[in-house]
């Protein structure tokens, strides 16, 4: 009798599992009839933690706002956050986990270019709609509509700074960067554009992102007597600017996408350094973010907030993956808190950028850039 009851229980459980499996569409999200699940893959620890934490706060804000308005067609949104640590291997594992186990309908992130390159094949393989508040080079994209990139194209951005320097009458520039994929992209793009314009790259020093000693390459850079130095680096920004200061370099300094953390860490020796970065966020977003978290939004909060809302706009129309991918194909423009995003026919993203200057550790806007 006991054996019969056990077998009946097993059969009932199997039937329930089969019904559940059949009831979930192959392209559908993981639902519990109350929530729609999406994932956010962010670098919440490690060297890029400041960026990941800014992004997390912005996505939380966007999610709370839409849920307070009733969610998506009456269903609440649930975001599953995964820490990638800015590590490509962890990013791949996280992407596999949220798609295979959590069965999310879509993904926001990762943030780091190296991570984005690593997960690109999985995005294609799984057909998961993905919105990236970061950068993925055209050369690493087999599908220009998935993921959607909510970040200024790095090659265009670096090229615009090169144009600005040339227009200022600068003709001899030295470059310092690292082998990190994003930093290699911006250093190379800056050099190529500056040479196209007729300028001269007197020296180009590229080091490992985690190197502990940069005095020798910085010494070589200074010895080449450039009128200006372009620092195409985040990882080695503090070390390189400190060495330039200690060596007594008197020329002009330029950079790309310097955040409040780097500005604060180098306040004693980077006064006057100018850099290109996404333009300021809309005032109402800054106020709302600051009121909620007790701090102003730093990079890439605005882009992450926009990425979340772009995804939510698709979910309002469909929670079917295949149908979302079709909606993404016709997506070309979005007016968000980080400015008007334009997706050009070649897949490159274009956003407003501006020239900023470091003054006693504070970031001041100088002007917009065409």
User: What is the structure's pLDDT at 165?
Assistant: 98
Domain 35-151+300-331 has CATH 3.40.50.300: no
Within the chain, all domains assigned CATH 3.40.50.2300 are found at 35-151+300-331, 154-278+354-368
134 contacts: CB under 8 Å, gap ≥ 6: 109, 110, 111, 112, 113, 115, 116, 149, 151, 300
CATH superfamily placement of domain 154-278+354-368: Response regulator (3.40.50.2300)
pLDDT tens digits, one per residue of 351-370:
999 999 999 999 999 998 87
Integer Cα distance of 312 and 322 in angstroms: 15
pLDDT digits (tens, 9 = 90+) for 58-92: 999 999 999 999 999 999 999 999 999 999 999 99
Virtual CA dihedral for 176, 206, 184, 247, nearest 10 degrees? Answer: -20
d(CA 237, CA 230): 11
Maximal C-alpha separation, the chain: 94
Residues of the chain above pLDDT 70, percent:
91
Tokens linked to 285: 């977003």
Angle between helix axes 283-293 and 49-68 (nearest 10 degrees) is 100
Structure tokens, 359: 């003054």
Check residue 70 and give its pLDDT.
94
Q: How many CB atoms lie within 10 A of CB 215?
A: 13
Tell how far CA 248 is from the center of its chain.
34
For β-strands 274-278 and 252-256, DSSP reports them as parallel
Residue 99 near residue 37, CB atoms below 8 Å = no
Taking the model in full, what pTM does it have?
A: 0.82
pLDDT tens figures, 180-191: 999 999 999 999
């Amino acid at each position: 009798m006991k054996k019969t009851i056990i077998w009946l229980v097993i059969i009932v459980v199997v039937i329930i599992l089969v019904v559940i499996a059949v009831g979930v569409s192959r392209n559908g999200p993981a639902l519990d009839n109350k929530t729609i699940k999406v994932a956010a893959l962010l670098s919440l620890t490690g060297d890029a933690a400041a960026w990941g934490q800014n992004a997390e706060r912005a996505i939380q804000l966007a999610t709370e706002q839409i849920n307070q308005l009733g969610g998506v067609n009456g269903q609440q949104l649930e975001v599953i956050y995964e820490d990638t640590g800015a590590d490509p291997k962890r990013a791949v594992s996280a992407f596999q986990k949220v798609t295979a186990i959590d069965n999310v309908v879509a993904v926001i992130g990762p943030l780091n270019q190296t991570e984005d390159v690593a997960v690109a094949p999985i995005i294609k393989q799984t057909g998961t709609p993905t919105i990236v508040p970061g950068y993925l080079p055209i050369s690493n994209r087999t599908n220009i509509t998935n993921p959607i990139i909510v970040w200024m194209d790095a090659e265009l951005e670096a090229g615009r700074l090169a144009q600005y320097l040339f227009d200022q009458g600068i003709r001899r520039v030295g470059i310092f960067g690292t082998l990190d994929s994003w930093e290699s992209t911006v250093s190379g793009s800056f050099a190529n554009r500056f040479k196209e314009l007729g300028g001269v790259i007197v020296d180009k020093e590229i080091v490992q992102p985690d190197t502990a000693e940069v005095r020798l390459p910085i010494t070589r850079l200074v010895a080449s007597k450039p009128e200006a130095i372009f620092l195409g680096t985040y990882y080695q920004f503090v070390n390189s600017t400190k060495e330039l200061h200690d060596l007594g370099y008197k020329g002009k300094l330029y950079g790309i996408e310097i955040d409040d953390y780097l500005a604060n860490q180098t306040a004693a020796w980077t006064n006057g350094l100018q850099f290109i970065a996404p333009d300021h966020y809309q005032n109402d977003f800054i106020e709302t973010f600051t009121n909620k978290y007790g701090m102003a939004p730093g990079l890439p909060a605005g882009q992450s907030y926009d990425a979340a809302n772009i995804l939510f706009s698709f979910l309002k129309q469909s929670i079917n993956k295949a149908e979302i991918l079709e909606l993404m194909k016709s997506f070309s423009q979005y007016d968000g808190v980080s400015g008007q995003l334009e997706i050009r026919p070649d897949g490159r993203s274009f956003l407003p950028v501006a020239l900023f200057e470091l003054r006693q550790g504070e970031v001041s806007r100088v002007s917009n850039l065409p």
